[in-house]
Amino acid sequence: MTASTSLPLATRRTGLLAASAAAIVLMTSMAASAQQGAAEPMAAITAASEPTEIERFCSNIADVARDRRYALQRQELETLQKDIDQRMKALEEKRAEYEEWLKRREDFLSRIEDNVVKIYSTMKPDAAAERLAEVNVEVAAGILMKLEARKAGVILNEMNRKSAAELTRIMAAATRKEDPT
Protein backbone atom coordinates (compact mmCIF):
# COMPACT_ATOMS: atom_id res chain seq x y z
CA MET A 1 0.00 0.00 0.00
CA THR A 2 1.20 3.49 -0.80
CA ALA A 3 1.34 6.38 1.62
CA SER A 4 -1.59 8.21 0.00
CA THR A 5 -3.93 5.22 0.29
CA SER A 6 -3.09 4.61 3.95
CA LEU A 7 -4.17 8.12 4.99
CA PRO A 8 -7.77 8.71 5.84
CA LEU A 9 -9.99 10.07 3.08
CA ALA A 10 -10.52 13.46 4.76
CA THR A 11 -6.80 14.08 5.02
CA ARG A 12 -6.36 13.18 1.40
CA ARG A 13 -9.10 15.61 0.37
CA THR A 14 -7.61 18.43 2.43
CA GLY A 15 -4.23 17.89 0.75
CA LEU A 16 -5.82 17.89 -2.69
CA LEU A 17 -7.71 21.09 -1.96
CA ALA A 18 -4.59 22.80 -0.70
CA ALA A 19 -2.64 21.71 -3.79
CA SER A 20 -5.43 22.89 -6.07
CA ALA A 21 -5.59 26.24 -4.34
CA ALA A 22 -1.83 26.68 -4.64
CA ALA A 23 -2.01 25.81 -8.33
CA ILE A 24 -4.77 28.37 -8.91
CA VAL A 25 -2.82 31.11 -7.13
CA LEU A 26 0.27 30.26 -9.10
CA MET A 27 -1.61 30.30 -12.41
CA THR A 28 -3.26 33.66 -11.70
CA SER A 29 0.06 35.23 -10.73
CA MET A 30 1.64 33.87 -13.90
CA ALA A 31 -1.20 35.25 -16.01
CA ALA A 32 -0.88 38.67 -14.37
CA SER A 33 2.87 38.77 -14.85
CA ALA A 34 2.43 37.60 -18.44
CA GLN A 35 0.15 40.56 -19.13
CA GLN A 36 2.62 42.95 -17.55
CA GLY A 37 5.54 41.17 -19.22
CA ALA A 38 3.87 41.42 -22.62
CA ALA A 39 3.99 45.19 -22.43
CA GLU A 40 7.65 45.25 -21.37
CA PRO A 41 8.99 43.08 -24.26
CA MET A 42 7.10 45.27 -26.74
CA ALA A 43 8.73 48.34 -25.22
CA ALA A 44 12.11 46.56 -25.39
CA ILE A 45 11.55 45.65 -29.05
CA THR A 46 10.58 49.23 -29.86
CA ALA A 47 13.57 50.57 -27.93
CA ALA A 48 15.93 48.12 -29.63
CA SER A 49 14.81 49.20 -33.09
CA GLU A 50 15.47 52.87 -32.30
CA PRO A 51 19.20 53.65 -32.09
CA THR A 52 20.46 55.20 -28.89
CA GLU A 53 22.21 58.54 -28.82
CA ILE A 54 25.59 56.80 -28.58
CA GLU A 55 24.83 54.59 -31.57
CA ARG A 56 23.68 57.62 -33.62
CA PHE A 57 26.87 59.51 -32.68
CA CYS A 58 29.09 56.56 -33.62
CA SER A 59 27.34 56.02 -36.94
CA ASN A 60 27.56 59.75 -37.73
CA ILE A 61 31.32 59.95 -37.16
CA ALA A 62 32.27 56.54 -38.61
CA ASP A 63 33.10 57.93 -42.06
CA VAL A 64 35.06 60.84 -40.63
CA ALA A 65 37.02 58.53 -38.32
CA ARG A 66 37.78 56.12 -41.18
CA ASP A 67 38.95 59.02 -43.41
CA ARG A 68 41.17 60.35 -40.61
CA ARG A 69 42.65 56.90 -40.01
CA TYR A 70 43.41 56.56 -43.75
CA ALA A 71 44.96 60.04 -43.80
CA LEU A 72 47.21 59.17 -40.87
CA GLN A 73 48.25 55.90 -42.53
CA ARG A 74 48.98 57.70 -45.81
CA GLN A 75 51.04 60.31 -43.95
CA GLU A 76 53.02 57.58 -42.20
CA LEU A 77 53.61 55.78 -45.51
CA GLU A 78 54.81 59.01 -47.13
CA THR A 79 57.23 59.57 -44.25
CA LEU A 80 58.54 56.02 -44.59
CA GLN A 81 58.88 56.46 -48.37
CA LYS A 82 60.94 59.64 -47.89
CA ASP A 83 63.17 57.81 -45.42
CA ILE A 84 63.65 54.93 -47.84
CA ASP A 85 64.43 57.35 -50.69
CA GLN A 86 67.07 59.09 -48.55
CA ARG A 87 68.65 55.78 -47.60
CA MET A 88 68.66 54.61 -51.21
CA LYS A 89 70.34 57.85 -52.27
CA ALA A 90 72.99 57.43 -49.56
CA LEU A 91 73.55 53.81 -50.59
CA GLU A 92 73.88 54.83 -54.23
CA GLU A 93 76.49 57.44 -53.28
CA LYS A 94 78.39 54.84 -51.24
CA ARG A 95 78.20 52.36 -54.11
CA ALA A 96 79.61 54.93 -56.56
CA GLU A 97 82.36 55.79 -54.08
CA TYR A 98 83.17 52.11 -53.58
CA GLU A 99 83.29 51.46 -57.34
CA GLU A 100 85.68 54.37 -57.80
CA TRP A 101 87.89 53.10 -54.98
CA LEU A 102 87.81 49.56 -56.39
CA LYS A 103 88.79 50.79 -59.85
CA ARG A 104 91.75 52.76 -58.42
CA ARG A 105 92.80 49.71 -56.38
CA GLU A 106 92.63 47.36 -59.35
CA ASP A 107 94.66 49.78 -61.49
CA PHE A 108 97.24 50.05 -58.74
CA LEU A 109 97.41 46.27 -58.25
CA SER A 110 97.75 45.57 -61.95
CA ARG A 111 100.70 48.00 -62.16
CA ILE A 112 102.25 46.45 -59.06
CA GLU A 113 101.71 42.92 -60.31
CA ASP A 114 103.35 43.73 -63.59
CA ASN A 115 106.35 45.16 -61.75
CA VAL A 116 106.53 42.21 -59.35
CA VAL A 117 106.34 39.74 -62.24
CA LYS A 118 109.16 41.61 -64.03
CA ILE A 119 111.25 41.50 -60.86
CA TYR A 120 110.79 37.73 -60.41
CA SER A 121 111.39 37.09 -64.10
CA THR A 122 114.83 38.76 -63.89
CA MET A 123 115.86 36.99 -60.66
CA LYS A 124 117.96 33.87 -60.60
CA PRO A 125 115.66 30.80 -60.30
CA ASP A 126 117.08 29.61 -56.97
CA ALA A 127 116.67 33.08 -55.38
CA ALA A 128 113.15 33.47 -56.82
CA ALA A 129 112.21 29.99 -55.49
CA GLU A 130 113.51 30.87 -52.05
CA ARG A 131 111.53 34.17 -51.98
CA LEU A 132 108.31 32.63 -53.32
CA ALA A 133 108.45 29.92 -50.65
CA GLU A 134 108.19 32.68 -48.02
CA VAL A 135 105.27 34.49 -49.69
CA ASN A 136 101.58 33.58 -49.32
CA VAL A 137 100.88 30.56 -51.56
CA GLU A 138 98.09 32.34 -53.49
CA VAL A 139 100.37 35.29 -54.24
CA ALA A 140 103.21 33.01 -55.23
CA ALA A 141 100.89 31.02 -57.50
CA GLY A 142 99.66 34.25 -59.08
CA ILE A 143 103.20 35.42 -59.78
CA LEU A 144 104.21 32.06 -61.26
CA MET A 145 101.12 32.03 -63.48
CA LYS A 146 102.06 35.44 -64.92
CA LEU A 147 105.65 34.40 -65.61
CA GLU A 148 106.64 32.71 -68.84
CA ALA A 149 106.04 28.98 -68.57
CA ARG A 150 109.72 28.15 -69.02
CA LYS A 151 110.84 30.59 -66.28
CA ALA A 152 108.06 29.40 -63.90
CA GLY A 153 109.11 25.77 -64.50
CA VAL A 154 112.73 26.51 -63.61
CA ILE A 155 111.65 28.32 -60.40
CA LEU A 156 109.35 25.42 -59.40
CA ASN A 157 112.22 23.04 -60.05
CA GLU A 158 114.34 24.93 -57.51
CA MET A 159 111.64 24.74 -54.80
CA ASN A 160 111.17 21.90 -52.33
CA ARG A 161 108.68 19.22 -53.39
CA LYS A 162 105.86 20.13 -51.01
CA SER A 163 105.87 23.85 -51.81
CA ALA A 164 106.05 23.16 -55.55
CA ALA A 165 103.19 20.65 -55.32
CA GLU A 166 101.01 23.12 -53.38
CA LEU A 167 101.68 25.91 -55.88
CA THR A 168 100.97 23.59 -58.80
CA ARG A 169 97.68 22.52 -57.22
CA ILE A 170 96.60 26.15 -56.79
CA MET A 171 97.60 27.09 -60.33
CA ALA A 172 95.74 24.08 -61.75
CA ALA A 173 92.60 24.96 -59.76
CA ALA A 174 92.79 28.56 -61.00
CA THR A 175 92.87 27.49 -64.65
CA ARG A 176 89.72 25.37 -64.39
CA LYS A 177 86.73 26.63 -66.34
CA GLU A 178 84.29 26.03 -63.44
CA ASP A 179 84.53 27.27 -59.89
CA PRO A 180 86.45 24.70 -57.78
CA THR A 181 84.64 25.64 -54.58
DSSP output for 63-92:
HHHHHHHHHHHHHHHHHHHHHHHHHHHHHH
Segment 123-174, tens digit of pLDDT: 999 999 998 888 888 888 888 888 898 999 999 999 989 989 998 888 888 7
Alpha helices by DSSP H, listed for the chain, are 3-6, 9-49, 53-122, 125-134, 137-146, 149-158, 161-174
Residue 122 has pLDDT above 80, yes or no: yes
Over residues 11-40, mean pLDDT: 59
- Whole-prediction pTM value? 0.40
Over residues 29-50, mean pLDDT: 57
